[in-house]
Amino acid sequence: MKKIGIMTTGGDCSGLNTVIQRIYRGAALRGWRTVGILDGTDGLCSTPPRVIEFNNETLPIECARMAGSFLHNGRPQALNFETAAQTGRLQHFNRQLRKSLNELKLDALILIGGNGSLSLAWCNRDIYSGLQLICIPKTIDMDIPLTDKTIGFNTAVQQLTSFCDQLMLTARSHHRWFVVQTMGRDCGQLALNAGIAIGASAILIPEIKFDVHKLIDHILHAPRDYGIILVSEGISLRGHSGRPADMISRKLTAAGIPNRTAYPEHTQRVGDTTAADRILAARFADCALNAIANNETYVMTAVHDCECKTVSLEEFFSAGYVTADPNIPDLQTSDAYVSPDDPLLDIATNMGIYLGETK
Ligand code: F6P
**Catalytic residue status for 186:** no
Question: Which ranges constitute the DSSP H helices of the chain?
Answer: 16-29, 40-45, 81-86, 90-104, 115-123, 153-173, 189-198, 212-220, 244-254, 275-293, 313-319, 343-350
Whether the CB of 14 sits within 6 Å of ligand 1 = no
Cα(224)–Cα(198) distance, integer angstroms: 15
Using alpha carbons, select from 155, 122, 151, 147 the residue that is nearest to residue 139: 151
The one catalytic residue in 39, 42, 141, 325 is 141
CA dihedral 169, 172, 173, 175 (to 10 degrees): 150
Whether the CB of 184 sits within 6 Å of ligand 1 = yes
Give the residue whose CA is nearest to atom 14 of ligand 1: 11
Q: Which amino acid is at 349?
A: T
Q: DSSP of 220-264, one letter per residue?
A: HTSSSS-EEEEEETT---TT--S-HHHHHHHHHHHTT--EEEE--
Residue-level pLDDT, tens digit, the chain, 359 residues: 999 999 999 999 999 999 999 999 999 999 999 999 999 999 999 999 999 999 999 999 999 999 999 999 888 888 888 888 888 888 889 999 999 999 999 999 999 999 999 999 999 999 999 999 999 999 999 999 999 999 999 999 999 999 999 999 999 999 999 999 999 999 999 999 999 999 999 999 999 999 999 999 999 999 999 999 999 999 999 888 999 999 999 999 999 999 999 999 999 999 999 999 999 999 999 999 999 999 999 999 999 999 999 999 999 999 999 988 777 777 899 999 999 999 999 999 999 999 999 86
At residue 231, the pLDDT reads 98
Which ligand 1 atom sits nearest the alpha carbon of residue 190? 6
- Check if the beta carbon of residue 226 is closer than 8 Å to that of residue 172: yes
Q: DSSP of 88-139, one letter per residue?
A: T-HHHHHHHHHHHHHHHT-SEEEEEE-HHHHHHHHHTGGGGTTSEEEEEEB-
Contacts of 186 (CB under 8 A, 6+ apart): 143, 206, 234, 335, 337
At residue 80, the pLDDT reads 85
At residue 90, the pLDDT reads 85
Span from the CA of 237 to the centroid of ligand 1 (angstroms): 21
Cα(310)–Cα(304) distance, integer angstroms: 10
Cα(24)–Cα(286) distance, integer angstroms: 10
Span from the CA of 183 to the centroid of ligand 1 (angstroms): 7
**φ, ψ dihedrals at 132, nearest 5°:** -90, 125
At residue 85, the pLDDT reads 81
Cα(122)–Cα(318) distance, integer angstroms: 11
Which ligand 1 atom sits nearest the alpha carbon of residue 143? 1
Give the residue whose CA is nearest to atom 13 of ligand 1: 11
**φ, ψ dihedrals at 272, nearest 5°:** -55, 130
Domains and CATH numbers, the chain: 3-152+273-319 (3.40.50.450), 156-269+340-350 (3.40.50.460)
Cα(145)–Cα(194) distance, integer angstroms: 20
Cα(308)–Cα(290) distance, integer angstroms: 11
Mutate to test the pocket of ligand 1, among 183, 230, 268 (most ligand atoms within 8 A of CB): 183
Span from the CA of 188 to the centroid of ligand 1 (angstroms): 14
Whether the CB of 140 sits within 6 Å of ligand 1 = yes
Whether the CB of 185 sits within 6 Å of ligand 1 = yes
Cα(34)–Cα(41) distance, integer angstroms: 17
